[in-house]
Structure 1
Amino acid sequence: MTSVEEERPRALLAGASRWWVRALPWAVAFVLCVALLPTTIVVLTRDYGLNDGVACALAVAQAVPLLLAVVRPLQAWYVVFAADVAGALALLTVDFEERLLWPFPPMELVGYIALCLALGLRERRRTLVLVWLATAGANVGLVFAAPHGAGARGLLFTILGGVALLLSGALRERYEVQRRLAEQETISEAERGRRTLLEERARIARELHDVVAHHMSVITVQADTAEYRLAALPPHVREEFTSIASTARESLGEMRRLLGVLRNEETRGELAPQPGLPQIGQLVEATSRAGGPVDFTPCEAEVPEAVGLSAYRIVQEALANVVRHAPGARTHVSLSVAEPADGGGGARLTVLVVNDPPPEPPAGPLEVGGTGHGLVGMRERVRLVGGTLDVGPLPGGGFRVAAQLPLSEEDFT
């Protein structure tokens, strides 16, 4: 069922967003059919003197397929082109005035131009060239058989048809280029967001690797030196410490092998201890020196290293955004530990960064090369430790970043 629906041809302009644009080809085809059908019969019979039956047959073959052209313009062209050529040959059998246009009367030119416009909007360039060559070949061949001599008027069929094919084909290709560019921009934006998220996850993984590696190294050293620091250890306890040290070394080596791909030449400098709550004061001082007054309320509580690192990165990104987008604005940074108001869960570290509107609206962002995905990193860090993040503009201007990070490992997700 699906394959049949996919093979069914779509009407011209069926992908337009406005209903009247989608209905436009049908309306034009209907008007042309209704107008050209009687006009062709009258002109062929009264002006050219063609037999009524032949004129009616030619009129139907030349006008009715215009309705088909909305869905299948190439098939409609086969019928109309053959009917136009047949009509030109039929007019050779009657005696008409020299002033009348031949081989294709005006109403046939109108219908054929409309048909060429439909062809250009649907068919590829190669098909359009073949259609024009067939048109030119038939037109030139008929002109040589003109009953009143060849003239420039006889080539209107070829000239006008070629112009219609060229214009509509150019419009179709321009639309295709714009559609592909829009699709590429959408894909690029999605890929950019996905890449930013992956890069932030890789950075978090490297930092967590440093934290875990430090603790595993401490465990290994303590287990290895236990027999020297503790006197008169029983043999089975000494073997237990040896086993702990061996397991810790194996786990550390395995972790380094798994996460080693995240360390390249550019990240070897990250082997230094990772920042936490104590280093947030340095961020505040640096921002103040950059020209933005910052009020800082520190927190002296002991928090897990992963939580402290996440809090540091959140404040770092929030202050960087203030410097980029609201230079000179007063900023309030506060850290606090409290139990949840509803009494559920354990203690949480609240990170709050609020900036006022800038004293003077900046002409533009100070940094134009950013990715615009800084909030992605914040959300990812908060998600990894099982916290919540609330960001957004304030009613009176300014911006607010509020994160709650659980301090109990049982609350981590």
Structure 2
Amino acid sequence: MATSSLPPSPPPPPADGLLSAARRNLREIAHGLTHPSHPPVPPLADAPKRWQRLLPYVVVVALAAIFIPVTITVLSDQYGLNGGLAGALGVAQGAPLLMLAHRPLQAWWIIFPADVLGAVLLLGQDAGQHDVWPWTAPGQVGYLFVLLALGLRERRQALVGVWLATGAAGLALYLVSSDHGTDNSLLLFILSAVVLVIGATVRERGDVQRRLAEQETISEAERAQRTLLEERTRIARELHDVVAHHMSVITVQADSAPYRLGGLSDEVQEEFDSIAASARESLGEMRRLLLVLRSEGTEAERAPQPGLDRMQQLVEATVRAGLPAELSLSAGLEGVPQAVDLSAYRIVQEALANVVRHAPGARTRVSVSSDGTHLTVLIVNDPPEHTGSSHAPHTPLETTGTGHGLVGMRERVRLTGGTLDTGPLPEGGFRVAARLPLPPAAPPAPAPPLNPEDS
């Protein structure tokens, strides 16, 4: 009997061992040491004031002006180095400090070899009793400034590479000559770690704060957009009630026309039937739309929509909330379209709610007037009164308020095609003025002609 042999299974992939991980980390460190992580832009380049933008240049110029002569003096006087060599090393160790504002990593590539070269040259000099080696005092302090600049600008891989290079150079120099003055290689190794950690912590904290500020800006924009959409949805729900009323009237009139008007032809009756059917279909579509719009609504949003007839009640509720308010309604406000009527009420409601929240105790005047072509809504409040009373009631006016303030007002005025003017007053307080257009009045019906027989 023939037997079938299974194909050999492929060998498992090699595990990521310590050696490969070490090679990968070394490549990242080498890349960090050779590729700066930031563009050559100095710190505080985006500061609003000029002196703040110039501060990094002043600091690096001051560092170079201090460390170049001090290093030359210490190398020549304390360590007895030749004047020419002392001058060259002083410039090599101090002049690159001018690059800290723009290119701290490139400055380190110059200063670090110069410090190592200085330590090698000092091997040929007689060590004094109080001499420190391999890093001179000014060289050590200047090197720490370089590390601080690196910590504030570079990535973590570059900082680890700089720290390891510093420790390796100190260990190599210690092994070369362990009895050449007071050895400070371990001290610099520890101080460099501290300075790098401080710089990296400050940099990462600044990055976190910047990201938080950007996220807050994005969140604020999203909240504003969400507020606008919520207000538009609310207006759409209220607009449905307005349009549905008129569509219902059209349906009733079209259905009852054959009974109210006698002697209609069959074509006219069919036309009225078609109008009634279209109106009923439109009402059905609007009811389905209303179910979507009110799927997350409250029961208060299903209540009949208010208008100018409830303005007096709104102002009285404001007075009960602890806000002295006055209402002035001019004559001739009958027959205002329902959309304008509702928008005027909501504008007054939002304005009074804002006064209660932001100017408690301020005397407020509400005026609604009409000139036949426009409905003018004016709400003016005085500066808030600081009476020091902690028990004054500052409760919301109505639970049906939108809470969207000026956003809702602008949307409602835009819906009706009107204008809105808001802003603080010179003597204090705030003013809200809305001008909503009214449809032209229908011309009076012509009088029927007189029958000569009646005369």
Q: Report the secondary structure of 1:15's partner residue.
A: coil
Q: Report the secondary structure of 2:124's partner residue.
A: coil
CA distance in 1: counterparts of 2:374 and 2:328, whole angstroms: 16
**What is the deviation of 1:194?**
2.5
2:418 is equivalent to residue 408 of structure 1: no
Deviations 1:95-142 (A, max 9, x none): 332421100111211221111121122113343233223222322332
CA distance in 1: counterparts of 2:292 and 2:324, whole angstroms: 41
Deviations 1:313-343 (A, max 9, x none): 011122223333444544332221115xxxx
**What is the deviation of 1:151?**
5.4
- Contact 1:352-1:401 within 8 A present in 2 as well: yes
Written as runs of structure 1 = structure 2, the 5 A alignment for 1:3-402 is: 8-51=39-82, 54-148=85-179, 153-256=184-287, 261-267=292-298, 269-299=300-330, 300-338=333-371, 347-357=373-383, 360-361=386-387, 366=394, 373-402=404-433
Contiguous gaps of at least 5 residues in structure 2:
1-37, 442-455
Q: Report the secondary structure of 2:184's partner residue.
A: helix
Q: Report the secondary structure of 1:401's partner residue.
A: strand
- Contact 1:49-1:96 within 8 A present in 2 as well: no
Mean Cα displacement is larger for which, 252-261 or 164-173? 252-261
The structure whose residues are more often helix, as a share, is 1
**Which amino acid in 1 is paired with 2:53?**
R
CA distance in 2: counterparts of 1:395 and 1:317, whole angstroms: 22
CA distance in 1: counterparts of 2:81 and 2:110, whole angstroms: 20
**What is the deviation of 1:244?**
1.6
Mean Cα displacement is larger for which, 351-360 or 96-105? 351-360
CA distance in 2: counterparts of 1:363 and 1:183, whole angstroms: 40
Q: Report the secondary structure of 2:326's partner residue.
A: strand
CA distance in 2: counterparts of 1:31 and 1:323, whole angstroms: 57
**What is the deviation of 1:260?**
5.0
Q: Report the secondary structure of 1:265's partner residue.
A: coil
**Which amino acid in 1 is paired with 2:184?**
R
Mean Cα displacement is larger for which, 86-95 or 288-297? 288-297
**Which amino acid in 2 is paired with 1:298?**
L
CA distance in 2: counterparts of 1:13 and 1:329, whole angstroms: 45
CA distance in 2: counterparts of 1:395 and 1:170, whole angstroms: 48
Distance 1:28 1:291, change over 3 A: closer
**What is the deviation of 1:23?**
1.9
CA distance in 1: counterparts of 2:69 and 2:358, whole angstroms: 69
- Contact 2:339-2:416 within 8 A present in 1 as well: yes
Q: Report the secondary structure of 1:390's partner residue.
A: strand
Question: TM-score when scaled to structure 2?
Answer: 0.77
CA distance in 2: counterparts of 1:379 and 1:308, whole angstroms: 15
Distance 1:373 1:152, change over 3 A: farther
Aligned to 2:32: none
CA distance in 2: counterparts of 1:359 and 1:35, whole angstroms: 60
Cα RMSD after superposing both structures: 3.1
Contiguous gaps of at least 5 residues in structure 1:
1-6, 340-346
Distance 1:97 1:331, change over 3 A: closer
**What is the deviation of 1:54?**
4.5
Mean Cα displacement is larger for which, 49-58 or 212-221? 49-58
Distance 1:28 1:363, change over 3 A: farther
CA distance in 1: counterparts of 2:236 and 2:353, whole angstroms: 22
**Which amino acid in 2 is paired with 1:307?**
V
CA distance in 1: counterparts of 2:427 and 2:71, whole angstroms: 71
**Which amino acid in 1 is paired with 2:197?**
L
Distance 1:94 1:367, change over 3 A: farther
For this pair of structures, how many residues does the alignment match?
A: 396
Distance 1:296 1:269, change over 3 A: closer
CA distance in 2: counterparts of 1:366 and 1:183, whole angstroms: 35
Taking only the aligned residue pairs, the percentage that are identical comes to 61
**What is the deviation of 1:73?**
0.8
- Contact 1:144-1:150 within 8 A present in 2 as well: no
Larger radius of gyration: 2
Q: Report the secondary structure of 1:11's partner residue.
A: coil
